[in-house]
């Protein structure tokens, strides 16, 4: 058992985590530079909202989609745009595919984009979602509620280096309903917050910098435990995964690893981008490790991979249904597990595609916080195309 845990943890960090860390950093830096501009474009042009919302959903991770959700509450975008954005969103599971199965990821992008566009415009054309009641507060109620939280620091303000830096809200204003629901009363003060923003992310990036070249050498079939001048370098991967698990626990992230407040902070500060990039990667590593370890133990218990292959073939169409049901769970954790199983060849592409369409990542959480009925209806409209596309791909033999 120790050998299985050690080998799985080492492979997770060296062969997945190190690549995800730097891939995610590139995309988060792009988001830091441009995502706010796309949000403004989304508000201005009603005719292209579904298209722009789909593109924001397609961006790897959940940041783009998370920023779209509150705009519906403010009446700035249509319900079809919400549906399209959520369909296009794959969350952090996308980084597993980008680094491990890039060709499959490109196919998923194309399928999700087409389905998102068709579904979004269809929802708006038939007026679906117009009767969903969105609760609103008058100015007096907003000011009174905001007064209660004016001394409560936000995620951005908790960090000393951000004091005095002008903070720009994206898509909404200070003191509006979105600000009250998603920003105030949710800050995490204390020693753990200081540790996360001063030391933990530096330790993580130190491990990632060392692990990346080792991961590349491992892919080149170099035995990093014996062929190099330093022996047993795979232990770096093991320690990196164990640190990532602890990092995820102290960050208090279980199913989800991103929220509206943190995404907005990343758009306002390059340091916040680097800090939360480390936390997001640690979250992905934790769930990939859970998936890979569970698979390895299951292989041992059932008597080998051939038994699993036979079981999958016997499962048939039920694999699609299971993938869709997993996709209905809010958050990125379970979706990362499913993407990892696809990378290992445990589930077919049709199941992955069905999951990608109905999987909303962390983007559903702000919509749930704002208006649960909207979140429920949007989920239902994601479920329908997921079953259709998954079934077609399954019948075609994918």
For 165-196, write each residue's pLDDT tens digit. Answer: 677 777 676 666 676 667 765 556 667 777 88
CA distance 191 to 74: 36
Given pLDDT bands bounded at 50, 70 and 90, which one contains residue 393?
A: very high
Tokens for 125, please give them: 């054309």
- Longest distance between any two alpha carbons in the chain, whole Å: 70
- Tokens 């290992």 belong to 344
pLDDT at residue 143 tops 70: no
Residue-by-residue DSSP string for 335-353: HHHHHHHHHTTSS-HHHHH
pTM: 0.82
pLDDT at residue 146 tops 90: no
Tokens for 285, please give them: 């590593």
Asked whether the beta carbons of 333 and 62 are under 8 A apart, the reply is no
Can you tell me whether residue 91 is helix, strand or coil?
strand
CA distance 65 to 331: 13
Q: What is the pLDDT of residue 28?
A: 80
Q: What is the mean pLDDT of residues 354-381?
A: 85
CA distance 287 to 125: 39
CA distance 363 to 369: 11
Asked whether the beta carbons of 58 and 109 are under 8 A apart, the reply is yes
Asked whether the beta carbons of 362 and 257 are under 8 A apart, the reply is yes
Q: Of 340, 398, 282, which Cα lies nearest the Cα of 97?
A: 340
Query: Hey, which residues does 61 pair with through a beta bridge?
Result: 91
Report CA-CA distances (Å) from 114 to 85, 105, 151, 324, 375.
12, 14, 46, 18, 22
Q: What is the mean pLDDT of residues 296-315?
A: 72
Q: What is the pLDDT of residue 251?
A: 83
Q: What is the pLDDT of the chain when averaged over all its residues? A: 82
Can you tell me whether residue 186 is helix, strand or coil?
coil
Least confident of 40-54, 136-150, 252-266: 136-150
CA distance 388 to 393: 9
Asked whether the beta carbons of 331 and 286 are under 8 A apart, the reply is no
Q: What is the mean pLDDT of residues 113-130?
A: 87
Q: Is the dihedral of CA 289, 362, 183, 145 positive or negative?
A: negative
Residues whose CB is less than 8 angstroms from the CB of residue 132 and which lie 6 or more positions away in sequence, other chains included: 79, 371, 373, 374, 377
Residues whose CB is less than 8 angstroms from the CB of residue 225 and which lie 6 or more positions away in sequence, other chains included: 231, 232, 233, 234
Work out the number of other CB atoms within 10 angstroms of the CB of residue 319: 19
CA distance 155 to 145: 19
By residue count, the chain amounts to 398
Can you tell me whether residue 61 is helix, strand or coil?
strand
Asked whether the beta carbons of 295 and 260 are under 8 A apart, the reply is no
Q: What is the mean pLDDT of residues 3-15?
A: 90
Q: What is the mean pLDDT of residues 110-124?
A: 92
Given pLDDT bands bounded at 50, 70 and 90, which one contains residue 134?
A: low
Residues whose CB is less than 8 angstroms from the CB of residue 115 and which lie 6 or more positions away in sequence, other chains included: 87, 357, 385, 389
Residues whose CB is less than 8 angstroms from the CB of residue 211 and which lie 6 or more positions away in sequence, other chains included: 13, 14, 17, 18, 236, 237, 240
Q: What is the dihedral of CA 375, 378, 384, 385, to 10 degrees?
A: -120
CA distance 291 to 129: 37
Q: What is the mean pLDDT of residues 244-271?
A: 80
Phi, psi of 61 (to 5 degrees): 90, -165
Q: CA angle, corner 276, sides to 261 and 265, nearest 5?
A: 35
Tokens for 1, please give them: 């058992």
């Amino acid at each position: 058992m120790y050998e299985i845990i050690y080998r799985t943890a080492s492979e997770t960090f060296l062969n997945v985590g190190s690549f995800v860390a730097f891939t995610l950093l590139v995309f988060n830096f792009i988001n830091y530079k441009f995502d706010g501009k796309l949000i403004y474009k989304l508000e201005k042009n009603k005719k292209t909202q579904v298209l722009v919302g789909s593109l924001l959903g397609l961006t790897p991770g959940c940041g783009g989609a998370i920023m779209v959700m509150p705009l519906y509450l403010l009446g700035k975008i249509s319900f079809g745009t919400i549906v399209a954005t959520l369909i296009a969103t794959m969350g952090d599971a996308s980084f597993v595919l980008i680094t491990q199965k890039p060709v499959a990821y490109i196919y998923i992008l194309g399928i999700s984009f087409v389905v998102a566009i068709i579904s979004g415009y269809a929802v708006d054309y038939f007026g679906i979602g117009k009767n969903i009641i969105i609760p609103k507060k008058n100015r007096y109620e907003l000011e009174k509620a905001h007064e209660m939280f004016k001394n409560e620091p936000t995620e951005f303000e908790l960090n000393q280096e951000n004091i005095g830096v002008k903070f720009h809200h994206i898509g909404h204003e200070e003191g509006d309903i979105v600000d009250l629901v998603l920003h105030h009363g949710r800050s995490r003060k204390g020693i753990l917050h200081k540790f996360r923003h001063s030391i933990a992310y530096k330790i993580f990036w130190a491990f990632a910098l060392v692990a990346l070249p080792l991961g590349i050498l491992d892919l080149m079939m170099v035995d990093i435990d014996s062929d190099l001048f330093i022996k047993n370098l795979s232990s770096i991967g093991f320690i990196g995964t164990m640190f990532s698990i602890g990092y995820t626990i102290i960050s208090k992230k279980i199913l989800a690893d991103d929220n509206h407040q943190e995404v907005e902070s990343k758009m306002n500060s390059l340091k916040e981008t680097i800090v939360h990039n480390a936390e997001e990667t640690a979250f992905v590593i934790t769930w990939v490790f859970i998936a890979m370890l569970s698979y390895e133990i299951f292989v041992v218990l059932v008597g080998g991979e051939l038994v699993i292959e036979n079981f999958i073939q016997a499962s048939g169409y039920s694999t699609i249904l299971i993938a869709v049901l997993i996709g209905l769970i809010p958050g990125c954790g379970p979706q990362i597990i499913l993407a990892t199983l696809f990378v290992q060849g445990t589930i077919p592409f049709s199941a992955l595609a069905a999951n990608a369409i109905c999987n909303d990542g962390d983007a559903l959480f702000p919509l749930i916080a704002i208006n649960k009925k909207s979140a429920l209806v949007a989920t239902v409209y994601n479920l329908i195309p997921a079953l259709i596309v998954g079934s077609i791909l399954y019948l075609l033999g994918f």
